[in-house]
């Protein structure tokens, strides 16, 4: 089986060599990808998804276990190493949820069963607000419902050793739970995010700037504590959000502040 990917970096938007020349990510590692809007975060994971070989705008080359991947690994969905949750908030294909899941499972070479479809629907519905039915038409799902279904689909059907996640936070779904569904032991997980809670899940952060990889920052000891604080603040916000969404009023006694504050 595969154990690492390497990124041989290319050029930023100004055509200058990227500050970080070479990057190696091992199976089991979680990295986050951070940077301002337009800094090239999506381009980086798209290079990884396409296993670019100097043929994208950045000139990056992606190696699997030190070698350029075979053509079939790059393109054939059955042998794809990468599952990607893209930034798209909506589906474009006009077809029922069920048909889509069946066709996608088949294209990934899975045995399609009633249990499989049920498992995906259950997972999607545990993340979404309003219930998704398997007879719903993809293009008519809301942004949050689409996102929830995409997450369940990536986690269960595109169950590949490399998982790429692009801005999961912007759809009003439970991010922590979504990350739990997506990340499994032994996988490489790359999370593009603006959300501090998600950014701190990674043991390292890839910092993007001007289209290039500008720096790699490791999670510090202090940040391990910061992460706990941020988690409990997020938890508190989540409680408040749910109260408001379900038409209730917030009681002060329900809001607990992290101890360190």
Partner 1 sequence: MNRPKVIVVAGPPACGKTSVMLHSIKSLQRLQKRVAVVKIDCLATEDDIRYRSVDVPVAVGLSEDICPDHYFVVNLEEMTNWAAAEKAEVLIIETAGLCHRCAPGVDKALAVCVIDCHSSIKIPEKIGPVLDTADIVIVTKGDSVSQAEREVFRSRVRSINSNAEIVEVNGLTGAGCEHLARLFSEKGDSADLVGARLRHPMPTAICSYCMGEMRVGTKYQQGAVYKMDFPEVLCSLK
Ligand X SMILES: Nc1ncnc2c1ncn2[C@@H]1O[C@H](COP(=O)(O)OP(=O)(O)O)[C@@H](O)[C@H]1O
Distance between CA atoms of residues 209 and 24, nearest Å: 19
Instruction: Give the DSSP per-residue string, 17-84.
Output: BPS--EEEEETT-EEEEE-STTSSHHHHHHHHHTT-BS-STT--EEEETTBPPPHHHHH-GGG--EEE
Q: Which stretch binds ligand X (CB under 6 A): 9-17, 122-130, 140-148, 175-183?
A: 9-17
Half-sphere exposure of 154 (CA within 13 A, CB side): 27
Q: How far is the CB of 191 from Mg ion (least distance, A)?
A: 12
Q: Which does 37 bind (CB under 5 to 8 A by kind): ligand X, Mg ion, partner 1, none?
A: ligand X
Q: How far is the CB of 23 from ligand X (least distance, A)?
A: 14
- Is residue 69 part of the contact set for ligand X (CB under 6 A)? no
Distance between CA atoms of residues 219 and 226, nearest Å: 10
Q: Which stretch binds ligand X (CB under 6 A): 102-110, 117-125, 155-163, 207-215?
A: 207-215
Among 100, 167, 199, 230, binds partner 1 (CB under 8 A): 100
Q: Which stretch binds partner 1 (CB under 8 A): 76-84, 110-118, 129-137, 251-259?
A: 76-84
Residue 245 tokens, joined: 């969404």
Q: Which stretch binds ligand X (CB under 6 A): 5-13, 61-69, 199-207, 231-239?
A: 5-13
- Helix, strand or coil, per DSSP, at residue 208: strand
Q: Which does 92 bind (CB under 5 to 8 A by kind): Mg ion, ligand X, partner 1, none?
A: partner 1
Among 195, 211, 214, 230, binds ligand X (CB under 6 A): 211
Distance between CA atoms of residues 67 and 72, nearest Å: 14
- Is residue 145 part of the contact set for partner 1 (CB under 8 A)? no
Tokens 């992606």: give the residue.
Answer: 62
- Is residue 88 part of the contact set for partner 1 (CB under 8 A)? yes
């Amino acid at each position: 089986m595969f154990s690492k990917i390497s990124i041989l970096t290319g050029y930023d938007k100004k055509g200058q060599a990227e500050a970080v020349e070479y990057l190696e990510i091992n199976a089991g590692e979680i990295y986050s990808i951070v940077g301002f809007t337009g800094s090239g975060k999506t381009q980086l994971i798209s290079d990884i998804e396409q296993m670019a070989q100097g043929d994208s705008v950045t000139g990056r080359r992606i190696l699997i276990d030190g070698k350029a991947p075979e053509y079939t690994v790059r393109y054939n969905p059955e042998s794809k190493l990468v599952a990607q949750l893209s930034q798209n908030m909506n589906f474009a294909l006009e077809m029922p949820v069920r048909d889509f899941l069946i066709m996608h499972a088949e294209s990934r070479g899975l045995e399609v069963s009633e249990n499989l479809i049920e498992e995906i629907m259950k997972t999607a519905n545990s993340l979404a607000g309003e219930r998704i039915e398997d007879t719903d038409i993809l293009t008519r799902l809301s942004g949050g419902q689409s996102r929830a279904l995409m997450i369940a689909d990536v986690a269960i059907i595109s169950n590949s050793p490399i998982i790429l996640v692009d801005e999961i936070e912007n759809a009003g779904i439970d991010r922590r739970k979504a990350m739990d569904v997506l990340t499994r032991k032994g996988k490489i997980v790359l999370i593009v995010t603006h959300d501090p809670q998600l950014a701190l899940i990674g043991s390292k952060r890839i910092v993007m700037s001007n289209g290039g990889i500008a720096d790699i920052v490791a999670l510090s000891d202090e940040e391990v504590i910061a992460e706990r604080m941020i988690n409990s603040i997020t938890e508190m916000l989540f409680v408040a959000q749910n109260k408001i969404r379900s038409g209730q009023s917030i009681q002060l006694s329900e809001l607990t502040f992290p101890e360190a504050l």
